[in-house]
């Protein structure tokens, strides 16, 4: 703890705070994520540490250190100047198709590394994709991630204890949740991440979520309305989903792609059509997606070193600082008492 000088709060997640800090010995700026060790959330932080330690990619946020202090866990990460949502909504930053193509390429490259390391992220969404000061997109927030089970590894977060090869179905933020999760499956694999990536790519173009349900039922209804009622052809094993037969659908055909993805590049429509599929077995994996013609046709992806760079104060610029940060921190986030002492 004493190795770092805490600077300011930069993020607030589901389970804790993210603070910008300076490593005293080097002057290096880092991000520190903290949760109280008594919280259930500490399990997620430990999970995150385990995954980040196993990963080594330019497209995954770098794990630097971790420590415990006064009943809290702290995770030290490389500092990321911005996030994908901030880059997309900043009118001063011009992102054209070649920039978005490079973001897509970086995302697939990070996911390909993650999946090759047998880690499923399980919560891919724009808010968990951060942008470095160099303009590089990196996958963050591994708090819901887990190792893919090989054979008889028991799962500690499983809802359904029948099998040793099932995972909890309560993962992924609703709008990016694959259909098998929406229908309660606990037997899934890395292809749930590929569905989320498809939704993210569409959102990068449209600047609005592709399937924006406000409840689980609404989410299912929106997906079914757009992809059409599942059939033997589009989703052969749908009846194996625990909740599939609990719902009745009126028959509907898929919405034509030019309506669902208006004004999209044809090759991007083709790529999304191979990710946003009911049948998880048919979704492209990240390695295959990297070889899709979308990446080899005009406009070519922008070179990484030419990608737009977020300004240093990007978050502050877009989200004006609350006037009484310290007061609100003291009131709401007791886990930061030690940090405040340091300021």
* Interaction site with ligand ADP (CB under 6 A): 10-11, 13-16, 18, 31, 33, 61, 77-80, 83, 127-128, 130, 140-141, 143
Report the residue number, 177 or 292, with the smaller CB distance to ligand ADP. 177
For residue 142, the minimal CB distance to ligand ADP (Å) is: 8
Could you report how far apart the first and last alpha carbons of the chain are, in Å?
12
Report the residue number, 78 or 160, with the smaller CB distance to ligand ADP. 78
Neighbour count for residue 309 (Cβ, 10 Å): 18
Kindly compute the dihedral angle of the four CA atoms of residues 310, 311, 313, 314, in this order, to the nearest 10 degrees.
-40
What's the distance, CA 217 to chain centroid? 22
Could you give the string, one character per residue 2-31, with x where binding to Mg ion holds by CB under 5 A and - elsewhere?
A: -----------x------------------
What's the distance, CA 162 to chain centroid? 29
302 binds, options Mg ion, ligand ADP, none, Cβ within 5 to 8 A by partner type: none
For residue 29, the minimal CB distance to ligand ADP (Å) is: 9
- Copy the structure tokens of residue 208: 């609005």
Residue with nearest beta carbon to ligand ADP: 13
15 binds, options ligand ADP, Mg ion, none, Cβ within 5 to 8 A by partner type: ligand ADP
User: Does 145 contact Mg ion by CB under 5 A?
Assistant: no
Report the residue number, 140 or 272, with the smaller CB distance to ligand ADP. 140
User: Does 128 contact Mg ion by CB under 5 A?
Assistant: yes
Report the residue number, 300 or 319, with the smaller CB distance to ligand ADP. 319
Q: 334: number of CA atoms within 13 Å, CB side? A: 6
DSSP string, 113-146: HHHHTTEE-S---GGGEEE-TTS-EEE---TT-E
209 binds, options ligand ADP, Mg ion, none, Cβ within 5 to 8 A by partner type: none
Report the residue number, 40 or 246, with the smaller CB distance to ligand ADP. 40
Report the residue number, 173 or 285, with the smaller CB distance to Mg ion. 173
For residue 4, the minimal CB distance to ligand ADP (Å) is: 14
For residue 56, the minimal CB distance to Mg ion (Å) is: 21
User: Does 141 contact Mg ion by CB under 5 A?
Assistant: yes
Residue with nearest beta carbon to Mg ion: 141
Q: 272: number of CA atoms within 13 Å, CB side? A: 23
Angstrom distances, CA of residue 16 to CA of 12, 41, 57, 144, 173: 6, 8, 25, 14, 17
For residue 10, the minimal CB distance to ligand ADP (Å) is: 5
Angstrom distances, CA of residue 171 to CA of 4, 67, 102: 33, 27, 27
User: Does 72 contact Mg ion by CB under 5 A?
Assistant: no
DSSP H or E segment with residue 288: helix 286-290
Which residues are tagged catalytic? 123
22 binds, options ligand ADP, Mg ion, none, Cβ within 5 to 8 A by partner type: none
- Distance (Å, whole) CA 196 – CA 215: 17
DSSP string, 151-179: SSPPPTT-S-TT-TT---S--S-GGG--H
């Amino acid at each position: 703890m004493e190795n770092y000088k805490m600077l300011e709060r930069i993020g607030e997640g589901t389970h804790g705070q993210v603070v910008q800090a300076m490593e005293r010995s080097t002057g290096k700026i880092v991000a520190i994520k903290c949760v109280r060790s008594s919280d259930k959330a500490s399990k997620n932080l430990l999970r995150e540490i385990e995954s980040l330690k196993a990963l080594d990619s330019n497209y995954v946020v770098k794990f630097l250190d971790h420590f415990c202090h006064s009943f809290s866990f702290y995770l030290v990460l490389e500092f990321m100047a911005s996030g994908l949502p901030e880059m997309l909504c900043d009118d001063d930053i011009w992102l054209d198709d070649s920039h978005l193509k490079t973001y897509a390429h970086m995302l697939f490259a990070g996911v390909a590394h993650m999946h090759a390391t047998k880690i499923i992220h399980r919560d891919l969404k724009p808010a968990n994709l951060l942008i470095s000061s160099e303009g590089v997109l990196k996958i963050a927030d591994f708090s819901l991630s887990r190792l893919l089970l090989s054979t008889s590894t028991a799962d500690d977060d499983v809802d359904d204890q029948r099998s040793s090869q099932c995972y909890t179905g309560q993962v992924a933020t609703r709008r990016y949740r694959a259909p098998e999760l929406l229908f309660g499956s606990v037997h899934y694999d890395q292809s749930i991440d590929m569905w989320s990536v498809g939704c993210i790519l569409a959102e990068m173009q449209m600047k609005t979520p592709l399937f924006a349900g406000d409840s689980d039922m609404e989410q299912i209804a929106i997906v079914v309305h757009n992809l059409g009622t599942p059939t033997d052809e589009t989703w052969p094993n749908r009846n194996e989903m625990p909740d599939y037969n609990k719902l009745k659908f009126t028959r509907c055909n898929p919405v034509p792609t030019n309506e669902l993805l208006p004004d999209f590049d044809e090759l991007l429509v083709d790529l999304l059509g191979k990710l946003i599929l009911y049948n998880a077995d048919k979704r492209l994996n990240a390695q295959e997606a990297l070889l899709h013609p979308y990446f080899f046709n005009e406009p070519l992806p922008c070179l990484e070193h030419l990608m737009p760079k977020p300004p240093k104060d990007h978050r502050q610029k877009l989200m004006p600082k609350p006037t009484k940060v310290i007061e609100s921190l003291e009131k709401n986030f007791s886990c930061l008492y030690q940090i405040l002492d340091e300021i």
